[in-house]
A and B are shown apart, each in its own frame.
Chain A
Amino acid sequence: MSSVTKVLAGNKESGRGSLVGYYPAGYPTLKDSVESLVSMAENGCDVLEVGVPYSDPVMDGLIIQEATEQARAAGFVLDDLFEVIRQVRARVETPILVMSYWNPVQKYGLEKFATGLVDSGAQGMITPDLVPDEAADWIETSERLDLDRVFLVAPSSSDARVSKNSDVSRGFVYSVSTMGITGERATLDALAKDLTGRVKAFSKTPTCVGVGISTAEQVREVNSYSDGAIVGTAFIAAYRNEGLTGLTKKCRELASGLG
């Protein structure tokens, strides 16, 4: 079984719930991003999502755009991604998923990229702009290399797509809470609960909810009807404002929303 699924299931069973934390590799430097990810793992994140800085991140709001832009400007290359993962893996056992838009993966070479994930100690990949319809190669490769593959479902997805995207995902399926890009939202959309309800009705794959989550209350709420809350922008904003101390504080604060 996927180690991500195992962690999510265990936390669900114990009544704790899960917090999945996103942070981009190379932000603001490679070394800093390692420290940030380790701190996130040590302060309440149950799964780490390592973002790949990319020139055209259409799912992302300004905060993530600016962070990944800064990483790119500092010279981030894909080989660095695997080095960051290797260093984080040397210090914590928390499962790691890479979050990458598709073009960097296909340009690097899917086989080489996937092998890089395995060798550096990552458990799989989330693909925000790769839908299962276009993912035959990735499905085959991840199956063969025993890697998780996380696809998205959205409030606009038909029942047939919710069912298919969930079933073909491994680790969990990513429920997009609202129709929109990443960024903090004051209130969580009622759409999120409805969507996870549909995932549960059609599939056995666990689901975590992401986009717009930034408070402990929201983390609690989301965990009441799903298998985990995914937080990105709020962590990056905290780092931007107060560095590693701010990030650590934010992790503890949001993890306090868990049972």
Chain B
Amino acid sequence: MNSKLSAQQGPYFGDFGGRFVPEPLIAALDQLEQTYMEARGDSEFQSQLALLHKNYTGRPSIITEAKKFAAHFGDLRVFLKREDLNHTGSHKINNVMGQALLAKKMGKKRIIAETGAGQHGVASATAAAYFGLECVVYMGQVDTERQALNVARMKLLGAEVVPVTTGSKTLKDAINEALRDWVANVESTHYLLGTVAGPHPFPTMVRDFHSIIGNEAKQQMLEITGSLPDAVAACVGGGSNAIGIFHAFLDEADVALWGFEAAGDGVNTPRHAATLSKGTPGVLHGARSYMLQDDNGQTMESHSISAGLDYPGVGPEHSWLKDLGRANYMGITDAEAMDSMKLLSQLEGIIPAIETAHALAGVKYLSETLRPGSTVLINLSGRGDKDMETAAHYFGLLDKK
């Protein structure tokens, strides 16, 4: 057995993962797993995907050193892995291009996706346009309102956007609706899940498609600084951008891994989305993992100013890394995130997504635990254009009409 953490694959990550789905979906998951395992070892598939990333996604993404931002926190160096510069504006496209290729391989004509911030929906709509697939995106009604710009983008790209009005009307319920659609249309349809949650093989497959982030960044850091970073940090919603940058460093014991989740009003208030900090193990959306639930096993509603982190679950691999003590997870409040969004914008001329701003806010805490002179690598998972409505409102930037 390979004892490397990075060699771990689903269905299980320790006690977490699995397939807790209705029987009708099992055949589709088996087909997806088989298609993916073939593609993984198929050099033609891999070079197809690499070429797409080079000529369409815009990879490799660059690394920018944020000197003034770092100086604000003390004696450390901060490097940003610029996933915001990818086509469509976030890391989400890495996974989407991979899964869209698989959908083609499986002969599926239609893709469906859930989206919170709209970034995964936009990336999916983009891939659907590029590959000539029909695309339906499920999005909680609350999120269609706070991320209206991304709804317009998806529609312009030719996708249908279905506002979800059940339950909490956010990401959790968008996933439920996508699963219901998938059960009914599984012959023709691939469910292009946008994070490292869900039933096997999604957590493993989505991680693999995003591991390009950390693989590139590791080489880039060696070239820029001559050594590995002391800490790698990312925001955690479902956990895809975090696992994407963590994966290449899992077996580098000297590299600290930090995931920053949404603490909303605060982890000690009822209004947060800090699943790993405050949750308990349970089953949600097809996998066993930490989740926010009450004593009766009812999923609790999460709260975050960031639509992309407003989710009461998290990918099973993160639950495993938390219990192993290999990665640390911590909550960042709405206010801390918004402060960091402004800080990076004004000190570096980079407007991050509010999701990403949670990782940036974490630098304050890292500066307190790391030795002076340490280097921190942050996954700048997305750009903030989509968040202008929320930011303008929060900071009072627009004249009253």
Contacts and interface: CB of A to CB of B under 8 A. Distances in A.
Interface in A197-249: none
Given A55-B299, A134-B19, A134-B20, 20 more contacts: A55-B298, A58-B285, A72-B298, A78-B296, A103-B293, A104-B296, A104-B298, A106-B282, A107-B280, A108-B296, A129-B20, A131-B19, A152-B22, A156-B28, A158-B30, A165-B23, A179-B24, A179-B184, A180-B184, A181-B183
Contact of B282 (A107, A131, A153, A155): A107
Interface in B170-215: 172, 176, 179-180, 183-187
Given A128-B22, A154-B24, A108 B297 contact: yes
Q: Which 6 A-B pairs have the closest CB atoms?
A: A107-B297, A104-B297, A154-B24, A180-B184, A152-B23, A156-B27
B237 to A, nearest CB: 17
Contacts of A58: 21-22, 176, 179-180, 183, 285
Nearest to A156: B27
B293 to A, nearest CB: 6
Contact of A106 (B28, B30, B297): B297
Contacts of A74: none
A97 to B, nearest CB: 17
A165 to B, nearest CB: 7
A55 B185 CA distance: 23
Given A103-B282, A156-B186, A179-B187, A54 B298 contact: yes
A57 B299 CA distance: 11
Interface of A: 54-59, 61-62, 65, 69, 72, 77-78, 102-108, 128-131, 133-134, 151-158, 161, 165, 176, 179-181
A104 B294 CA distance: 9
Nearest to B282: A103
A134 B19 CA distance: 7
Nearest to A53: B298
Contact of B284 (A56, A128, A133, A176): A56
Given A129-B20, A134-B19, A154-B24, A179 B299 contact: no
Given A56-B299, A180-B183, A65 B22 contact: no
Contacts of B27: 154, 156-158, 161
B185 to A, nearest CB: 8
Nearest to A158: B27
A213 to B, nearest CB: 16
B295 interface: yes
B52 interface: no
B101 to A, nearest CB: 23
Nearest to B283: A103
B167 interface: yes
A179 B186 contact: yes
A198 to B, nearest CB: 13
29 contacts: A54-B298, A55-B299, A56-B299, A58-B22, A58-B285, A59-B22, A61-B180, A69-B167, A102-B283, A103-B284, A103-B297, A104-B298, A105-B297, A107-B296, A107-B297, A108-B297, A129-B21, A129-B283, A129-B286, A130-B20, A131-B21, A153-B23, A154-B22, A156-B186, A157-B24, A157-B26, A179-B24, A179-B187, A180-B183
B314 to A, nearest CB: 15
B31 to A, nearest CB: 10
Nearest to B179: A58
B238 interface: no
Contacts of B23: 131, 151-154, 157, 161, 165, 176
